[in-house]
Structure 1
Amino acid sequence: MSKTTTYELRVMFGDCDPAGIVFFPNFSKWMDASSLDFFMQCGVPPWRELKESHGIIGTPLLEIHTKFMRPATYGDTLQVRTCVESWAAKTFVQKHQVFKGEELLCEGRETRAFCVHPEGGRLQAIAVPDFIRERCS
């Protein structure tokens, strides 16, 4: 199992629909932000540095599953708890749990891959670098 990190955010009025509840795509936006924040908190260099040193441009999203349990509204402070649930050769699954205090509001899983973009070529998934897996465990 990997480390678990926490990304905190405050829900703004513009994050909500006319009924005053968070518009569902915003949870995906926050999970995406928490994905990058997870690697930063684990000591992985920013993507721009990894592009220079290893050619890695980031971790594009391949698949997402989200389950909503409770709503959130503006003024709420939320915590997104993120970990890597499983590692495969070229992909990994991140689990995100969105909490308001101790109440679980939403849970999502994202399948991602570390990718390079060779000059003149298409994006390519690469083997998960050992140094990244080690920093995240």
Structure 2
Amino acid sequence: MAFVYEQRVEFRDTDAAGIAHFSVFFTWMEEAEHAALRSLGLSVMPRPDRDPGGAESAIPQVTWPRVSAQCDYVRPLRFEDDVQVTVTLGKVGNKSLTYQFQFSRGEETIANGQVTVVCCSFVNGHLKSTEIPAEIATRLQTLVA
């Protein structure tokens, strides 16, 4: 099932022609990913402030650095346009995920993006890739296309 994130093109997101700057699509992909994860009770960063005895404590503390990001543009967005960012998971590996993002304005496709992330834990202050924990993989299945 897809997750849909709503966004409005703000003035700060535009170039001199009033068109959404290419780089803002990468920010929107990240915001949409974070919102999708939060909707599943997950986060992209370990949260040591969580109650160790609470419901969240059963979720392993991992983080998701990006290893690849791309975006293909079809139509422009302009200041104050509303855009829907649809998030799905394309490829799910043992240690990595590839998110697919479709940007649309109503029925119009505006752009398509893709971000690959790797599941990592902190070991002695350094990131180390690790298999996606079962509890997280189960929750992520709802985003599989």
Can you give the 5+ residue segments of structure 2 that lack an aligned partner in the other structure? Answer: 51-56
Kindly indicate whether residue 95 of structure 2 is the aligned counterpart of residue 90 of structure 1.
yes
Which of 53, 56, 65 is matched with 1:60 structurally?
A: 65
1:15 aligned residue: 13
Correspondence for 2:39 = 41
How far the C-alpha of 1:25 sits from its partner, in A, is 0.4
Question: What is the RMSD of the two structures over their aligned residues, measured on CA atoms?
Answer: 1.9
Contact 1:38 1:83 (C-alpha < 8 Å) held by counterparts: no
How much has 1:24 moved relative to structure 2? Answer: 0.4
| Identical aligned residues as a percent | 26
Counterparts of residues 1-137 of structure 1 (less than 5 Å): 3-44=1-42, 47-49=45-47, 53=57, 54-56=60-62, 58-120=63-125, 122-137=126-141
Shift of 1:21: 0.4
| CA deviation map 1:84-117 (0-9, x unaligned) | 1111111010000111111110101111012112
Partner-residue secondary structure (3-state), 1:47: coil
Worse-superposed segment, 39-48 or 61-70: 39-48
Whole-angstrom distance in 2 between the partners of 1:85 and 1:131 = 19
Aligned to 2:54: none
Q: Distance in 2 between matches of 1:68 and 1:50?
A: 38
Which deviates more from structure 2 when the two are superposed, residues 44-53 or residues 14-23?
44-53
Q: CA deviation at 1:15?
A: 0.6
